[in-house]
Each structure stands twice: as C-alpha cells, then as structure tokens.
Amino acid sequence: MEKAEARSLVERCLPRFKDAGLLAPDGITDVKVRAIASLWAGMGSVYDLAVSSKNGIQHVVAKRVQLPKRCDSIGDQRKKDSYDVEAAFYQKGHAERLISVGCMVPFPLHVEHSRGEGVTICMTKVEGKPAHPRGADAFVSWLARLHATYWGRRADEACGSDAGGLQLQGCYWHLDTRPDEHRKMPSSGWMGRLKLAARAIDLRLKADTLQSVCHGDAKGANIIYASGEGGEVIPLVYDFQYCGKAAVTKDLAYFFNVEAQPSEAEEERLLRLYHSELTKLLGAQGDVPPELAALKTSLELALCDWRRFSEIGLGGWGDDARHRVQKVLDRLDGGRALPNEEAYIDAMQREVHEAIAGVPPGITQLPTAFVDTVERVAARAFAALPEANNDADVSSDSEVLELVETVRNRATTWSHEAHKSIMEKLGIQLNEGHPCISLLAVSRRCGDPTGLISWFVLQTLALFQTLNVQRSRYVPRCTCAGCQKAKAKMGMEKTNFMVIFPVMQVVFSLPGVIGAVVAIRQSPFVQDRVESIAAMSAGPLYLSVFVMRFTLALIQASLGNARRDSGINVPDQHAYKVVGGTADGALVLMDESEPFGRFNRAQRGVQNHLEQIFPMVLEFVLSGYVFPWTTAALASVWAILRCWGALSYANDRMARIKGNLPSNFCLGAMAGIVLTIGVFASLK
C-alpha cells in the first residue's frame, strides 16, 4: 500500500475516530505503512497505519483483500465469501454490538468495497499479550458472552446476505465446504468409520438446539490478552471471517483441541465455567439455558466434526482426540463400520437425539402425531375441569385414560413446549425450567373426580419429560440393525436389569412358596422332614442358598446392563480390540456367518446350561429332601426345557428364549420351596 493511498484511507476513517475512543488528529503530518500479515492464498495483506499528528501517533489497522476475478475452486470461493462476511461483521453493527456487551473486538472505522474485486476493512488496533495464565478462563467467558448475545433466533437474524451478513454456516471446517478433505479420508479403520459417520454428525450438529453465532476460528493466533483496571484478564479477539451460525460447541471443541489442550479434569472445569456464565447471561435476557449434559453430548459430536477435517486437511493439527472420537463412533456402530452414511444417520437419530431432547424449554421438534395426541389430551383434560364445563360427563374419564395410554405408546420424545401448552390450556402458570407441574396449582383447579383424572393426565405427561432427562446419559449402545431388532423383540431395550432380574426371581419363586406353605401345614410327611431339618439347625443353610440365588440374579443383571450398553450381543462373551494396522481400534467379535455362527451359538448354549447347573443341583438336593416327587418333576421339566432352549439356540440366538424362559419357573419354584423350608425350619 502506497503512502498516499494510506493517507486517503485514514482520512475516510476520521469520522469514526471519536466513536472508537481515538483522538481526532489535529492535522495529519504523516502516515507510515507497515505490512504486518499476509492473507491466505496471497489474497491481500494486513497493514499497520501509524497516523502522526500534533496529538501524537495513533494506529489504524487496514485489511486489504484482493479477490480473484474468478473463483476456480471451492477453496477460493470459501475465502472470498469469508472476507465478505468479515466486512459485514464490521459494517453491519456486529462489532459494536459485541463491544456493548463486554466482548472486546476491534472497533470498525471504515469498510469499502472495490467494485466486486476486493474489500478494505479499517479498524482500531488491539494491543496485548499473546498468552496469559488465566487466558483460557477469560476466553471461555468471552465465548459465553458472544453465544448468549446471538442465542437462538438471534443467530438467524444475524446470518445471510439479506440479514446481518454473517455466515449461514459458521466455522471454516463444516462438511459442506470441505468435500475434498472428506473424500480423501481412508475407508478403513476408525477414520473410515468417521468418514461414513461424518454426514450424520454434521446433520445432528445443524439440528442441535444449542445454536448461536460462533466465532469460527477461535485459536490463539486470533486472541490477545490485556489487563483491566482491576487486574481482570480481557481477551481481545479479531478475525471474524468465518463468524456465523453453528452449534456453540464447535467453538469450544476447536479452542480446547487446538489451543487450550486441557487435561480431562481441566476441560471439565472450563466447560462448567462456560455453562455457568452462559446460564447466567441467558437467564438475564429471558432465555432458558441448556443442561450441562446436553452441552457435553454436543461437545463430543463437535469434536468429532473438527477432527474429521483436521486429520486430513491440517495433518492432524491439534491434540490427539482419537479415543474420544472412537467412543462416539462405538456408540453409533458398536465398534464395527455400518454399511453406509444412511445407516449412521439412522443410528444418530436413535442414539443421540434423546441426549438433547430433555433441554427446556421447547427447543426440541416433536413428532406431529405426538403433538396432535397431546393437544387432544389437553383439550379433554380442559373440558373435564368444572370451571370449564359444569356439565362435564364423568364417563369421559375412560376416554381420557385411553388417550393417556396412546400418549404413553407414542411418546418417544418430550419437550417443555408441549408441557407448557397443556398448562396454558388449564390456565395454570408454568414454573419455568421445572420438569414437573405444580401440584398445589392443579389441586386447586381439580376439585372433583374428573379434575383428578386431568391431574393424572398432566402427571403422566410431565413424567415423560422427567424420564427423557434421565435417559439423556451419554452411554454407548449397540445400533446395528440385528441388535436393535433383537432388543425390540425382547421388549427390554430400556429396562434396568438390576431391577427386573430380582423382581423376576421373586415372581418365579412364588409358586414354590405358595405350594410349600400349603404342604407344610397339611402333610405329616412334609412336617416331619421340616422338623428334622430344624433339629439339625439347618434352616439357616436353606435360607443362605436363596440368598445365593438372589445375588446370582444381581450378577446376571449387571452383565445384562453391560451387554446392552456395550452393544456386545449374545453369543459373544468378550470384546477384543485390534491394536495397530489398518484395522486399529476395530472390535473382534464372534463370526455369525454359517457354519461358524451355528457353532458359536451351540457352544454358548452348552455354557449357558452349565451356568445354571450348580444352583439347580444345590436346590434340587435341598428341596428333594422334603418334596421328592415335586422336586423330581420340576427338575425333569427344567432339564427338558433347557435342552430345548440349547438346541434352539444353535439355530437362532433369539430362539433360546422358548425353552430357557419357562425353565426359570421350574428353577424358581425350587428356589421358593427352599426359601419356605428355610423359614419354617429356622422358626421352629
């Protein structure tokens, strides 16, 4: 840039000096030009213009962008668009808006376009140090302020050439602008899986509820730190070329991975600091903040999105996050690559959607059928209230309950919006951010049986939201079609086995308990045997065997939960991981193709039977001493059913249920008999 051109540029900046807090020069005596940076792909330079006058020397930074007349590549077009976005950032009031809320950025002095061939952006010079011991804390707080300022719909208003001019998709690595790097990813190993999952991750982040305007290039080279009057650390941030709408966790994932590189504990602390600041800011402006769990889930996906580009486009720049990426992939594909991108999209919809669905208020899109049903329930509940309809028919309660059951069946997701809609129909003020309704408020409105039915409807619906929050834990689960189909067929994909297994144990034992109680009271033979056990003080031994049976159920329940959450389905008993080579990180599981699949299932059928032999023989002996014929019959039926289950297992893993499940009634009955004998013998 020539001196005369620089002076002319400074003169066009003068009207904004006062607004920027600069002294209006009392006669410009000189303008010195110094190039301080070159732009990517040789598209221009950044200059420091030292303006000398009688008032002293003041500095203006001028970013002169020289765009190619024709953009022959997607990369050139991306850069051209980014400079247009940065010009809009300074020209359309975004910089002043951020400064007004405490996000310090350069103050815009002048922006001019050169007939479509370039743009010049003049701004104040920010000065500080490139690093600070408390810099990470200060910058995540800066990000929280940025994100809160453009939270939700405000981001839409700020983006697009017809609106605020910022990027419709913020961050320079989003998938739509990086097809070349995506295409170059290897097709095997964990990166091959990430390549297939990239579209699903991208779509999920676009649909994320945590939308705002992101900086888009939040690295150390674009941040310097100054100290405030009270010693506080003040980040001064620039380079807003890729500023635009995105999930806020994209900024966090990028900053953590390439700049802060914190330990696991330090990242947790920084994330909690960000969440605390964001919560406070959103609350002050009337928005409801996201849950920390939702933020963590989104962060892991955003990290995968960043590493998808970084591994190829930037040679792996940033901290190695392979293990974290693989955990996300394992959740989607169970450790083995799914057939195509569509399969990963389906898996993402199943596995990750609920992790955000519990965030209030009303930021989750509900299925239309579910919304319609909720509206019908709300209308019926409202009609049932005495104040709304004095002639309400009590017989309509059955219809309300029927509708509740419909909701129970259809509700795969829940949001604060539907909850609020129902409450508004009842004329009850909603306690914002709370997953349950006010019992006192409802009790005042519901003064008769029909009103209580309405209360029950609302409690049921509120419960869906609470359960949704409880289900939003980041736990890997198998997503292959076979496992999902098997779980659906068993009907236990959402069951906590630590509860259901002990309950089933008690239920299976009841026939034995009831029969033994009747026999001990009526049969002299049985009474003599029980008395002989009591005479030997062996009653507690019988009781201890039932305790063994109960604790075995808990151990098996623990295995059931772990098996489901890991995605390692039967007949697999262990999961091994390949270390090194092109298949690095892949899981090694049993071969399900024939004839090897049949062998593995048959082998597991044998082992499954042997696992039950020890408790069965123990209970067989103890029960048979008092009830020989009954025990013999139960043991024989148990053996036949277990044999049927094992033979069926060899053909189909789900077919084992046909014999194994009813056999548990036989084994449970013997356990109940042993328990009852132990109780009677111990009390004598």
CATH number (domain holding residue 26): 3.30.200.20
Q: Provide the residue range defining the domain that includes 258.
A: 128-352
How many angstroms separate the Cα of 109 from the Cα of each of 62, 87, 104, 106, 404?
10, 11, 15, 9, 61
**pLDDT tens figures, 276-308:** 999 999 999 999 899 999 999 999 999 999 999
Three-state DSSP class for residue 161 = coil
Q: How far is CA 448 from the centre of its chain?
A: 42
Please give the Cα distance from 29 to 134 (Å, whole number). 41
Whether residue 537 sits in one domain with residue 462? no
Is 358 within the bounds of a domain? no
Residues 571 and 628 in one domain: yes
Q: Work out whether the CA dihedral 358, 564, 343, 251 comes out positive or negative.
A: positive
Sole residue written with tokens 């299925």: 367
User: Do both 653 and 574 map to the same domain?
Assistant: yes
Tell me, rounded to whole angstroms, the distance of Cα 383 from its chain centroid: 38
> Which of 125, 143, 176 is a domain's end point?
125
Q: Could you tell me if 389 and 340 lie in one domain?
A: no
The predicted structure's pLDDT at residue 27: 81
CATH number at residue 282: 3.90.1200
Do both 669 and 568 map to the same domain?
yes
- 377 located within any domain: yes
Please report the pLDDT score of residue 178 as a whole number: 93
Q: Does one domain contain both 538 and 666?
A: yes
Judge if 121 and 132 occupy the same domain: no
- What three-state secondary structure class fits 47? strand
| pLDDT value, residue 666 | 87
Statement to judge: residues 235 and 337 lie in one domain:
yes
Domain shared by 399 and 464, yes or no:
yes
Res 275: pLDDT: 97
Task: Report the number of distinct structural domains present in the chain.
Answer: 4
Tokens of 122: 């003049």
Please give the structure tokens belonging to residue 441: 């408020």
**Number of other CB atoms surrounding residue 36 within 10 Å:** 11
d(CA 170, CA 581): 36
Q: Is residue 360 part of a domain?
A: no
Domain assignment present for 413: yes
The pair of three-digit structure tokens given for residue 218, joined into one six-digit string: 């939040």
Asked if residues 245 and 170 have their Cβ atoms less than 8 Å apart, the reply is yes
Q: How many CB atoms sit inside 10 A of residue 595's CB?
A: 8
Are 120 and 163 within one domain? no
Question: Three-state SS for 496?
Answer: coil
Cα–Cα dist 103/149, whole Å: 10
Domain boundary residue, one of 80, 95, 125:
125
Cβ burial, residue 449 (10 Å; 0-12/13-18/19+): exposed
Judge if 465 and 501 occupy the same domain: no
Please indicate, yes or no, whether residues 96 and 156 belong to a single structural domain of this protein.
no
Contact 302, 249 (CB under 8 A): yes
Q: For residue 368, what pLDDT is reported?
A: 42
Low pLDDT (below 50) residues in the chain: 354-375, 377-382, 384-397, 399-401, 403-491
Among 85, 105, 125, where does a domain finish? Answer: 125
Q: Is residue 363 part of a domain?
A: no
User: Does residue 483 sit within a domain?
Assistant: no
283: in domain: yes
22 occurs within a structural domain:
yes
Which pLDDT does position 353 carry in this prediction? 55
